[in-house]
Amino acid sequence: MKAGVVVFPGSNCDHDCDYAASLSGARTRLIWHKEGSLGDVDAVILPGGFSYGDYLRCGAIAKNSPVMEDVIRFASEGRPVIGICNGFQILLETGLLPGALVANHTLKFLCRSTSLRVETTRTPFTAKYRKSQVINVPVAHHDGSYYADEHTLQYLDAHDMVVFRYQDNPNGSLGDIAGICNEKGNVLGMMPHPERVVSPELGGTDGAPLFESLREYVVNL
């Protein structure tokens, strides 16, 4: 698998994602946001951080970066794209995923481990988990509370688009939502950081199956 990690001004989890993907056996490369093409990659990762300092609105400026046009094309072809934390915010701003992320209900930056329940294993990112498995993955965000209108929330549930739910909802997300996918399942956005728990040296391995699932999916295409 060849994985591309997009780097925006203010990204700070790009090397973490690069490391996590490489641990799964992927060949990785960092893609600067001004590049007009993703190049020859099999999967795309939009990492966490504070793209453009989170000015205007988290992800609102990054969505206009030159590379995003090709990310949208890549996703529309059914190929795997994951956005983590700020990457999730960018996916929402582009319209690749529905809903919005607003300030945590505490109005404070949140940085701690959280318990997540795996809601579906139908995506390229979750095949190596078990449905209803509980995993521990850290969060680090200020604007991570998922919001959508009632119709959208019902649509997500009806079409198996909720991928992860908080067991200890730390930010006030509606429906305890921690991560969602598009209807095809090839685009995943999540606020918790799986790349931070991919080896014992990092304090946990619950994020490793996500990257291993992605690699296996690509290899078996």
Task: Check which CATH number belongs to the domain holding 133 and give it.
Answer: 3.40.50.880
Domains of the chain: total: 1
Rg of the chain over CA atoms, in angstroms?
15
**What is residue 188's DSSP assignment?**
E
Gap between the Cα atoms of 86 and 67, Å rounded: 16
Torsion of CA 57, 58, 64, 66, to 10 degrees: 150
Q: How far apart are the first and last CA of the chain?
A: 10
**What is residue 121's DSSP assignment?**
-
Gap between the Cα atoms of 179 and 85, Å rounded: 10
* pLDDT tens track, the chain, 221 positions: 999 999 999 999 999 999 999 999 999 999 999 999 999 999 999 999 999 999 889 999 999 999 999 999 999 999 999 999 999 999 999 999 999 999 999 999 999 999 999 999 999 999 999 999 999 999 999 999 999 999 999 999 999 999 999 999 999 999 999 999 999 999 999 999 999 999 999 999 999 999 999 999 999 98
| Beta-carbon contacts of residue 124 (< 8 Å; ≥ 6 apart) | 43, 80, 185, 186, 213, 214, 217, 218
Planar angle of CA 43, 49, 183, nearest 5 degrees: 40
Domain that holds residue 24: 2-220
Question: Does residue 193 carry a catalytic annotation?
Answer: yes
Question: Does residue 195 carry a catalytic annotation?
Answer: yes
Gap between the Cα atoms of 94 and 114, Å rounded: 27
Active-site choice (93, 119, 195, 212): 195
Residue 56: per-residue pLDDT: 87
Active-site choice (13, 85, 141, 181): 85
Question: Does residue 85 carry a catalytic annotation?
Answer: yes
Active-site choice (58, 93, 193, 212): 193
Planar angle of CA 46, 88, 6, nearest 5 degrees: 10
H or E element that contains 90: helix 86-94
pTM of the model: 0.97
